[in-house]
Amino acid sequence: MPDSSELSDFLRSRRAALTPEEIGLPRLAERRRVPGLRREELALAAGLSVTHYTRLEQGRTRQVSDSVLDAIARTLRLTPDEHSHLMDLARPGRTGPRRAPAPRTACAEPGIRQLIDTFTETPALVLDRRNDILAWNTMGHLLLAAHLEFDAPEDPARRPNLTRMLFLDERTRALYPHWQDEAQLAVASLRLVASRHPHDKRLAELIGELTMNSEEFAERWARHPVRTCVAGTKEFDHPLVGSLELSFQSLLVPGVADQRMIAYSARVGTSSEAGLRLLVPSAGTRSAGALPGVQSSPEASVRASRPSRSAS
């Protein structure tokens, strides 16, 4: 059976965002108690019976055809990500049989870990589906979390989580000048993952923790945003090297379920490329597997690499 709560919340949130006129229906003269489309209006526009749509929205039907879900998606003007999310909620078994969550001791695949360590001038990290950081190279560590110990991803008890850091870690929050956009995308991405893995206990615990400890997360989660993003541009206000505008690319790790690598790069000849290079000397001070002095050595090394202001 569908998750009636999630499915209902999602459909009601999308109905509330549209007016009858936007889907080609006349607005009735009577006063509306709530904004957006009524169930009967959506059913009419999608070519469904009100009873059938109501049962679907309430999660009281076992059989939902592609054509019905497609009609609802078209009427609600869902994006491709939202359409996929609707399918996941209405038919949770479509992504495969119920599987146990990955064990707490999950780690980055050795080959991908070795690969990112060869990126001496490119920040890179490996994430699982919950955004737990399974590994990062030295540049990735210095870009995103130099205030944390380098070996933190190796220990499940201390393993950083990008979404948790974004909402609950002030240093991470300060890293993003457009934090509101980052927060919205993080919640929207987490929504998709949660619908595809409804039995992941650790994912549910993360969502519960963030909901309890961050009003900003809770407010966004309640709006039910849905979106995925595998490439784009991010801006950083880095405490050591200043403003950076970096492209990022997310790639699935072949042969390993639910792991992906993210790498960041700057356009050639830009100030962002110069800023990244300021981090390279401190990256070079770490031998393989060693823990850098995160409280002092990265900053000291970067400052030492900067040209003197008195030079002319």
Domains of the chain: 4-95 (1.10.260.40), 110-305 (3.30.450.180)
Question: Residue 23 — pLDDT band, cuts 50, 70, 90?
Answer: confident
- Quick one: pLDDT at residue 64? 84
- Quick one: pLDDT at residue 114? 93
Type of residue numbered 31: R
Q: What is the pLDDT of residues 127-171, one digit of tens each?
A: 999 999 999 999 999 999 999 999 999 999 999 999 999 999 999
pLDDT at 95 over 90: no
- Quick one: pLDDT at residue 284? 53
- 300 vs 219, residue with greater confidence: 219
pLDDT at 3 over 60: no
Question: Residue 20 — pLDDT band, cuts 50, 70, 90?
Answer: confident
pTM: 0.75
**Dist. CA 136–CA 140, nearest whole Å:** 6
State the average pLDDT over residues 29-36.
68
Query: Beta partners for 242?
Result: 238
Is 15 exposed, middle or buried (CB count within 10 Å of its CB: 0-12, 13-18, 19+)?
Answer: buried
- Quick one: pLDDT at residue 294? 40
- Count of residues making up the chain: 312
Specify the long-range contacts of residues 303-307, CB closer than 8 Å, at least 24 apart: 303/240, 305/278, 305/281, 306/278
pLDDT at 101 over 80: no
Question: Residue 283 — pLDDT band, cuts 50, 70, 90?
Answer: low
Consecutive H or E run containing 247:
strand 242-252
- Quick one: pLDDT at residue 32? 66
- Quick one: pLDDT at residue 107? 84
Q: What is the pLDDT of residues 58-68, one digit of tens each?
A: 888 777 888 89
| Closest listed residue to residue 101, CA positions, set 199, 20, 229 | 199
Mean pLDDT over each residue of the chain, to the nearest integer: 84
Count Cβ atoms below 10 Å from residue 257 Cβ, excluding itself: 11
